[in-house]
Amino acid sequence: MESRRKSGINLPPTMSETTLRLDAFSSPPSSKLRSRTSNLGSPMSNRSPRTISNLSSSPSSKSATCSDRFIPCRSSSRLHTFGLVEKASPVKEGSGGTNNDAYSRLLKSELFGPDYGCFSSPAGGSPMSPSKNMLRFKTENSGPNSPYSPSVLGQDTSLSNEVSAPPKPPRKVPKTPHKVLDAPALQDDFYLNLVDWSSQNVLAVGLGTCVYLWTASNSRVTKLCDLGPTDSVCSVQWTREGSYISIGTSLGQVQVWDATQCKKVRTLGGHQTRTGVLAWSSRILSSGSRDRNILQHDIRVPSDFVSKFVGHKSEVCGLKWSHDDRELASGGNDNQLLVWNLRSQQPVLKLTEHNAAVKAIAWSPHQCGLLASGGGTADRCIRFWNTTNGNQLNHMDTGSQVCNLAWSRNVNEIVSTHGYSQNQIMVWKYPSMSKVATLTGHSLRVLYLAMSPDGQTIVTGAGDETLRFWNVFPSVKTPAAVKDTGLWSLGRTHIR
């Protein structure tokens, strides 16, 4: 212990001072070390190198010789990444030092970024000033300050740390229908509702005196009924479950059919003339007629109707139940939009801002109490209402007659079909009402609209006696760009 204290070196108990010694060599170094020191050309080459003996308890072991310095290769170092700045090389007289300095600064800024050299002392002192963080780490950016920037002077340093996300590309909607069905005798009448798509993927179409069912999964066509030469189909509407379908006739009747068995279940009366619009809630069937009345039917009771709503002054052409079955919206040829509930025989809201017939009505599935309505030729507007207080939220002049409206269940968008004068189909984002797509193809006004059960496809019908299928909305699971699946032929087929 006394020897350790005298030497001032703390050694492990198993090691003695004799095992650790520094030997000075007077003889020339080894050939290997000589070649290294001669290549270095350092002033240290004239001094005697020192080696540290092998730490071994055996006195007979040979001592290993190694150098006491490590010389790194600076060519592969990225000193600028850690903020290490080298001193500028001295400028020779008569070599244009000012121009060289400017060129050097410009070159370093372009290669290593504008922050290179920011730690240099302003007074010309050492760049390794103790007041600076010499080893500050910097993240390399490949953005605006990239060394490969085409700009000579680089970009603005204030934007160097901003990572601008690329703009989201707009969703692409196919401009052509992927399926076209011929629909002979499809009437060109604004006040009728002759097309509806069930939750079981079956499309119902009223053609003249008959109703046809088209199964989307296999394109099979079934003739459901024929009303005879004295009557005609004015409206069709599926129940929410998709098993039963109601048919409004020109004689004022409402028939209920079992679509799976092609069997009539019930015939309901009460209207004096044609029944042009129908709407199902969970248990109530509402019917609107040219006689200006709205009847509430319950097929569980023997009577034709359980209540009557009187409020329109002209033909009722639009009817829609809210998704919670609490409110019924009705539109008429008297330019009125009325909102009803089952607790009162009088409308709870009277909305009179439209200047033409209101056939297009749609409740939003995304926001309770949000109602959209569209006016006819003299109005051309889509209006949005808060039915809790009756306020108009927004309106958009579409430039042509609004025939139908339907909300997407998958995204917060709405589709509208139009008549005079452009006969187009338009998809809008809500609430900005920016256009997503404008689709054309019908030669007459697009009077009929229905949506597939998955919410991706719409079918439109017009007086040109065609039904056209369009992919306009994304699916719920994959909100990506809608692509034409090509599963159905582009050729025409007949609905009957």
- pLDDT tens-place string over residues 455-480: 999 999 999 999 999 999 999 865 45
pTM: 0.65
CA distances from 232 to 198, 237, 251, 285, 486 (A): 21, 15, 8, 20, 36
In a domain, 170, yes or no: no
In a domain, 138, yes or no: no
What's residue 55's pLDDT? 40
In a domain, 29, yes or no: no
What's residue 477's pLDDT? 64
Q: What is the mean pLDDT of the chain?
A: 79
The pLDDT tens digits for 172-207 are 999 999 999 999 999 999 999 999 999 999 999 999
- From edge to edge, which strands make up the β-sheet containing 233-238? 233-238, 244-249, 254-258, 263-268
Mean pLDDT score, 111-129: 52
In a domain, 5, yes or no: no
CA distances from 238 to 78, 79, 213, 487 (A): 72, 74, 11, 26
What's residue 67's pLDDT? 57
What's residue 170's pLDDT? 74
What 3-state class would DSSP assign to 438? strand
In a domain, 408, yes or no: yes
404 and 448 Cβ atoms separated by less than 8 Å = yes
What's residue 103's pLDDT? 82
In a domain, 486, yes or no: no
In a domain, 424, yes or no: yes
Rounded Cα–Cα distance for residues 201 and 215 (Å): 6
Query: CATH number, domain at 417?
Result: 2.130.10.10
Rounded Cα–Cα distance for residues 238 and 202 (Å): 10
Q: Identify the residue with better confidence: 111 or 49.
A: 111
Q: Identify the residue with better confidence: 31 or 245.
A: 245
- The yes-or-no verdict on residue 328 having pLDDT over 50 is yes
What's residue 152's pLDDT? 41
Asked if the peptide bond before residue 421 counts as cis, ω within 30 degrees of 0, the response is: yes
The pLDDT tens digits for 424-456 are 999 999 999 999 999 999 999 999 999 999 999
Specify the number of domains making up the chain.
1
In a domain, 425, yes or no: yes
The pLDDT tens digits for 58-87 are 444 445 555 566 666 555 555 555 555 555
Q: Which domain holds residue 438?
A: 179-471
